[in-house]
Amino acid sequence: MNEAADRDVNPIRDAVRRRYAATLTISGDTGVCCGEALPGITDEEGRVVFGSELYDPETADGATGGALSASLGCGVPTAVADLRPGETVLDLGSGAGADVLISARRVGPSGKAIGLDMTIEMLELARANAAEAGAVNVEFLQGYLEDIPLPDASVDVVISNCVINLAADKHLVIRETARVLRPGGRFAVSDVVADPNMDQATRANMERWTGCIAGALTAEQYRELLTAAGLIDVSITATHRVHSHAFSAIIRAIRPDAIQGVATVEFLGGPSGI
C-alpha cells in the first residue's frame, strides 16, 4: 500500500481497532470477553442479528466457549465454505478465533486454519482459545486485510465474518484475497451488505462504520469488486436484515485457474469512500 493510501485508511483503521480492542477484557484464564458472554445483538423485533447465538452445536463444533462468547459476526461462514480435509483456510479478521477453530476441526490434522487480525488483544485471546481447544493446526497472524502477509496462491479457502465491511479500502482487500487463493480456491464470507438507498448521513457516521453498517458495500458493488479482482461464479445470498438499510449475506466466489487481469473499481461516499 502506498503512503498516501495508508494515511487515508488510518483514521478508519484506528477507529475499528479501538472499538474492538475495547470490547475485550480477558478475565483470568477463562478466555471470556468482558468477564462474561457477550449477548447476541438483536433488532427492534428481538431477533438476533449479530453474535454467537447465530451458531448451533453442529456449526460451532471445534470452537471454545470463550471464542464463541466473543463473536460479533453476522453469520456462520464455515457452514457454507464446504471445507474439506487437508485444505488451508484463511479467516480475515479472525477476532477471538471461533471460525478458525471450527475450520481447523473440519480440515483435520492434514489441513491448516490461519487467522489474520490487526488487533493485538484479539490475537492474544485467539491464541489462548486455541491452546484451550488443543488445536495444533492453527496459526494467528497480525496484519491488515489490505496487505495479507502470505504468499501468492497459498490458501484453498478464504472466509470472513462481518469484517470486510469494516475495511477502508475494500478494493485492496478483495485483490489481496484473489492473490492468496490457489487456482480453484473459494471465497466464502458472511458480511453486511447495504441497500442501494442507504443515506449519506449514515455513510458518514464513524460509529455506524465501526458498527458494521456505514462501510457496507451494496450487492452490486460487492459483485463488481470480486469480478474486477478476477474471481468468478459470484453469488450473494441474503440471510437476515441487520439494519433498516442493510442485511447480512453469504458472498461466494471462485478463483479461476488463471486470472487474466485486475481492474480498478472506485466508489465514492463514506468517511474515506467505500
Q: Which of the following CATH numbers is that of domain 3-254: 3.40.50.150, 2.40.50.100, 3.40.50.300, 3.40.1390.10? A: 3.40.50.150
* Strand, helix or coil for residue 240: strand
Q: What pLDDT, on a 0 to 100 scale, did the predictor assign at position 183?
A: 98
pTM equals: 0.78
Q: What pLDDT, on a 0 to 100 scale, did the predictor assign at position 50?
A: 62
Cell for 108? Answer: 483435520
Cβ neighbours around 108 below 10 Å, total: 14
Cα 3 to Cα 120: distance, rounded to the nearest angstrom:
23
Cell 468482558 belongs to residue: 34
Backbone angles phi, psi at 133, to 5 degrees: -75, -15
Which residue ranges make up each domain of the chain?
3-254
* Strand, helix or coil for residue 33: helix
Q: What is the pLDDT of residues 161-209, one digit of tens each?
A: 989 988 889 999 999 999 999 999 999 999 999 888 876 766 555 344 3
Angle between the N-to-C axes of helices 120-133 and 3-22, in degrees from 0 to 180, rounded to the nearest 10: 60
Side chain identity, residue 122 = M
Please report the sign of the dihedral spanned by the C-alpha atoms of residue 234, residue 240, residue 242, residue 245.
positive
Number of C-alpha atoms within 13 angstroms, CB side, residue 79?
16
Cα 80 to Cα 129: distance, rounded to the nearest angstrom:
23
- Reduced 3-state DSSP string for 81-111: CCCCCCCEEEEECCCCCHHHHHHHHHHCCCC
Side chain identity, residue 120 = I
Q: What pLDDT, on a 0 to 100 scale, did the predictor assign at position 124?
A: 92
Cβ neighbours around 147 below 10 Å, total: 12
Cα 60 to Cα 246: distance, rounded to the nearest angstrom:
25
Q: What is the pLDDT of residues 67-98, one digit of tens each?
A: 776 677 777 889 889 999 999 999 999 988 99
Residue spans of the chain under pLDDT 50: 1-9, 12, 16-17, 25-43, 46, 206-210, 266-274
